[in-house]
């Protein structure tokens, strides 16, 4: 399974640097010099250098020497194989792909949906649940609402406040 860890934005400068919209919790580790990514068409690229500029990650990729070459990459997704991601030392941390597809149940066992995606926002993470009776539900990914995550069992338990799933 390939996972998106970033998306190439607009070029920066004349020497082929690209801005990257980061989709990983550890950008300094993920975008270290020598890191390899697969683009949408299967093309492989390697990080030659990175730097932060005004809160934006700028990346120099091997073989991308000028602004025109950088512009051609705009919009490409940077992906890695899921098995390349390191395991977290904290048992309460999860990669998004580990959560997607889990069955969401209430404490009494009632199934309320399936995790379709995880959204990382400025106020925290949200689980997007696909539901049979409705399009979707947004659930804050906090311990008070999602106290149990059972990856081997393929489920998570929700204790939503009244009205959250209505």
pLDDT in tens, 85-112: 766 676 777 878 889 999 999 999 999 9
Q: Give the predicted TM-score (pTM) of the model.
A: 0.64
Residues of the chain within CATH 2.40.30.60 domain(s) are 2-84
Number of neighbours of residue 93 by Cβ within 10 angstroms: 10
CATH architecture assigned to 96-158: Roll (2.30)
Average pLDDT of the residues of the chain: 90
Q: Are 69 and 16 in contact (CB under 8 A)?
A: yes
Q: What percent of the chain has pLDDT over 70?
A: 96
Q: Which two tokens stand for residue 32?
A: 């270290």
pLDDT in tens, 38-56: 998 889 999 999 999 998 9
CA-closest candidate to residue 141, choices 160, 162, 165, 113: 160
Give the phi and the psi of residue 75 in degrees, each rounded to 5: 90, -10
Q: Give 114's Cβ-side CA count (13 Å radius).
A: 7
CA 154 to chain CA centroid, nearest Å: 19
pLDDT in tens, 125-151: 899 999 986 689 999 999 999 999 999
Q: Report how far apart the first and last C-alpha atoms of the chain are (Å, whole number).
A: 33
Per DSSP, the three-state class of 68 is helix
Residues of the chain within CATH 2.30.30.240 domain(s) are 96-158
CA 138 to chain CA centroid, nearest Å: 17
Q: Are 45 and 31 in contact (CB under 8 A)?
A: no
Query: Domain 2-84 maps to which CATH number in 3.30.565.10, 1.20.1440.230, 2.60.40.10, 2.40.30.60?
Result: 2.40.30.60
């Amino acid at each position: 399974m390939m996972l998106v860890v970033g998306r190439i934005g607009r070029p920066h400068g004349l020497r082929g640097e690209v801005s990257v919209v980061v989709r990983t919790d550890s950008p300094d580790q993920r975008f270290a010099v020598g890191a390899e990514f697969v683009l949408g068409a299967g093309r492989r690229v390697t990080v030659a250098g990175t730097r932060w500029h005004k809160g934006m990650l700028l990346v120099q990729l091997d073989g991308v020497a000028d602004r025109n070459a950088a512009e051609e990459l705009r919009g490409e997704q940077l992906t890695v194989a899921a098995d390349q991601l390191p395991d977290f030392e904290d048992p309460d941390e999860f990669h998004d792909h580990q959560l997607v597809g889990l069955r969401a149940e209430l404490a009494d066992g009632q199934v309320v949906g399936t995790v379709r995606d995880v959204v990382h926002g400025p106020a925290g993470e949200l689980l997007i649940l696909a539901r049979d009776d409705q399009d979707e539900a947004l659930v804050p990914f906090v311990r008070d609402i999602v106290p149990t995550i059972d990856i081997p069992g393929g489920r998570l338990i929700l204790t939503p406040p009244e009205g959250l799933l209505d």
